[in-house]
Structure formats: C-alpha cells, structure tokens
Amino acid sequence: MLSDLGPEWDRRVVGDRVAWRHDTSGLVFRLVPGGTFRMGLSDAEVGELHVIAAGSEADGGVELLLKHIEEMRPVRSVTVGPFLMARYPLTVAQVRH
C-alpha cells in the first residue's frame, strides 16, 4: 500500500517515528496498522442499556441508541487494512486541496 503512494510522498522520521509527508500540501501522516476487531453490541451490553434507560440517569442518548439497536447487532469480526491518518486534524480547505 505505501509503495503505491507516488512521488509526492516523502517518507521521514518525525518525533522518533516514521511518517509520510505529502509534498504538495505539507501535511504529515502516520501509518495506522490494519487489524481485526469485534464490532457490535453483545446481549449483555444491550441488557445494560435497557437498565440505564429504565433508571433515573437516562438521557436522550440512551433512548436514541435503543431506537437503533438492531443496526448495531450482531457482534461480528471486522478487518481493516492499514491506512494513513493525518498527524493533526484537517480543515475542510486542507481536505479540498
């Protein structure tokens, strides 16, 4: 993946770690390694949300979660490949550039 970046990318060390600088924009990116993780809500988590919603500490956010709970189920394995992420947050203008 990183070998496909093209000539406008410069590999360098920034803060004792490898980074990639995009020459045109000057933005610095770090590698986020790929991996597999579990995504979704388990039965225990769903039960806990129902307990919270029934309690006095519930707010509108819990109700919203419960409204869309089936979109967050079942628990499943998700694999994401490696990717570059900007070292600092970007502005809309930087992304458009």
Q: Which residues constitute the domain of residue 31?
A: 2-87
| Per-residue model confidence (pLDDT) at position 22 | 87
Domain membership of residue 43 (yes or no) is: yes
Q: Does the pTM exceed 0.75? A: no
Domain membership of residue 96 (yes or no) is: no
Domain count for the chain, please give it: 1
| Per-residue model confidence (pLDDT) at position 57 | 63
CA atoms within 13 A on the CB side of 85: 8
Band of the pLDDT at 80, cuts 50, 70, 90?
Answer: very high
**Does pLDDT of 77 surpass 90?**
yes
Segment 15-73, tens digit of pLDDT: 888 899 988 888 899 999 999 999 999 999 988 888 888 876 656 677 888 888 888 99
Domain membership of residue 78 (yes or no) is: yes
